[in-house]
Amino acid sequence: MMMEKIQADVTVIGAGLTGLTAAFYLAKAGKKVALIEKQDRIGGVIRTIHKDGFIFETGPNTGVFSSPELVRLFDDLGERCRPVFANGKAKQRWILKNGKWHALPSGLLSGIRTPLFSWHDKFRILGEPVRKRGTDPHETVSELVRRRMGRSFLDFAVDPFISGIYAGDPDRLVTSYALPKLHRLEQQYGSFIRGGIKKAREPKDPLTRRATKAVFSAEGGLQELTDALGEAVGADRFWLSVNNLTVSPANNSYQSVFQQHGHEVVITSPKVISTTGSHAVPGFMQFLDPSDLQPLKQLEYAKVVQVVAAYRQWTGRELTAFGGLIPSRERRNALGILFTSAIFPGRAPDGGAILSVFMGGRRRPDIYEMDDAQIREMALQEIRETLDTGKAAPHHLEIYRYRHAIPQYEVDSGERFEAIRQIETAYPGLTLAGNMRDGIGISDRVKQGYNMAQEVLQ
């Protein structure tokens, strides 16, 4: 077998958004970067499909413009990629209660009038600013919300929100890990309400002021962002379709050895950044002690099924929202339905609509194992019964399955973070990143990629 030897400043493993962002800033600073990816394409789970006048995503559908690092990235990409922001009508979120959609309140008056929350909890929320801080570092999201806001807020606001973000179970997700900003509001300010007001009044630097928390994509879909990063990094820095990867220390450096297209490649570099999922790390970093890897291996991922339904002519309920989230107590098969064509222009032909139905998650992992016919019928039933489409059939229907869709930041997360810290301390130059730490959103991934690059450069 032919062997090729490469010398690099930094090896990045995984060409998803995190790895691409890190590689972009390292290459921009003049570092020789080698980026290794097992798939035959860059972008990771981000992928945009253009089909018969429809544009849809097979992974994340939107991002939130919520960090200065994300603002900086678009500035640095310039004309290569520009963000587009959600339509005004998509600011509304629907919540299903007793089979009917209700808008999630966005202000005091709508909060008083909404049937989503009980009158007891509506009055009880007035006392939220004076309630005591929590003292349990492992308090779950459910426990926190019941303590500070009440059961109906948990059932018809937080539970569906957690389904939409994590496909998770608020009884198992730990607030300090899964929703660290919310946790900090209570711990630093004693209250969500008081903390939110004080945070809004704090002075902000120019980049932070531009991080408006608006929902965004790119004009032709999120893949434009990863493609733009790939173009800026340079195709000659990528090693795609690799297999049998192993990473090992060697003389104050690291050797990354793999096969590609029938020949062996050895990349030597003083620094390695891994951005893969935690389930993949033990397979290619076999030099690490199994006991150190155990906290990574025990990270649970939600299994998610996404069904994209594209309608040439939409005859159902008018889609005037971002989408609809379905509380677990409604006992339906879907976690929620995203109204993609209502969020961004040009995602469906005039008069048409494109939806994404999400199913499975932490509470219903069995759905992932069902056959396509079962999943198709379940998704169409959710659309028919909640959006009044009658017998109308979609022009296209696509099914996508994700075994390792979303990591669950549960009670063992602290042990995982400590294990990562100890490994990185024991092996200088090695960084273990990716969505097993530092958050799961697009903004989180860009922030982590940027910060990793800065640590290397400093």
Q: Are 91 and 85 in contact, with CB atoms under 8 Å apart?
A: no
User: CA 331, CA 282: separation in Å to the nearest integer?
Assistant: 37
Q: Which residues contact 366 (CB under 8 A, 6 or more apart)?
A: none
What is the dotted CATH code of the domain comprising 301-407? 3.90.660.20
> pTM of the entire structure?
0.95
Helices 17-28 and 68-77, axial angle in degrees (round to 10) = 60
User: CA 58, CA 273: separation in Å to the nearest integer?
Assistant: 26
Angle among Cα 443, 34, 269 to the nearest 5 degrees reads 110
Delimit the domains of the chain by residue range. Answer: 3-42+223-298+409-457, 117-207, 301-407
In this prediction, residues 255-259 reach a mean pLDDT of 97
For the stretch 159-177, pLDDT in tens is 999 999 999 999 999 999 9
Which residues sit opposite 322 in a β-bridge?
none
**For residue 327, what are its two tokens?**
């509380």
SS3 (DSSP) at 200: helix
Beta strands in 144-242 (DSSP E): 215-218, 238-239
SS3 (DSSP) at 369: helix
Any idea which residue has 């959103």 for tokens? Answer: 441
Any idea which residue has 């990771």 for tokens? Answer: 44
Angle among Cα 24, 29, 30 to the nearest 5 degrees reads 100
**For residue 255, what are its two tokens?**
């050797």
pLDDT of residue 52: 94
Helices 68-77 and 223-233, axial angle in degrees (round to 10) = 60
Return the closest-CA partner of residue 352 out of 49, 55, 88, 89.
Answer: 55
Q: 267 φ, ψ to 5°?
A: -110, 125
Give me the architecture of the 3-42+223-298+409-457 domain, per CATH: 3-Layer(bba) Sandwich (3.50)
Q: Are 407 and 277 in contact, with CB atoms under 8 Å apart?
A: yes
The pLDDT of residue 109 is above 90:
no
pLDDT of residue 1: 64
User: CA 195, CA 191: separation in Å to the nearest integer?
Assistant: 6
Could you tell me the pLDDT band of residue 282, with boundaries at 50, 70 and 90? very high
For the stretch 52-106, pLDDT in tens is 999 999 999 999 999 999 999 999 999 999 999 998 878 899 999 999 999 999 8
For the stretch 175-218, pLDDT in tens is 999 999 999 999 999 999 999 999 888 888 999 999 999 999 99
Q: Which CATH class is domain 117-207?
A: mainly alpha
For the stretch 4-13, pLDDT in tens is 999 999 999 9
The pLDDT of residue 2 is above 80:
no
- CA pseudo-torsion sign 288, 291, 294, 295: negative
Give the chain's mean pLDDT: 96
pLDDT of residue 391: 87
Query: Dihedral angle at the C-alpha atoms of 153, 159, 165, 170, nearest 10 degrees?
Result: 110
List, as one string, the DSSP characters of 425-452: HHSTTEEE-STTSS-SSHHHHHHHHHHH
pLDDT of residue 89: 78
Residue percentage of the chain with pLDDT more than 90:
93
pLDDT of residue 90: 83
Which residues sit opposite 243 in a β-bridge?
259
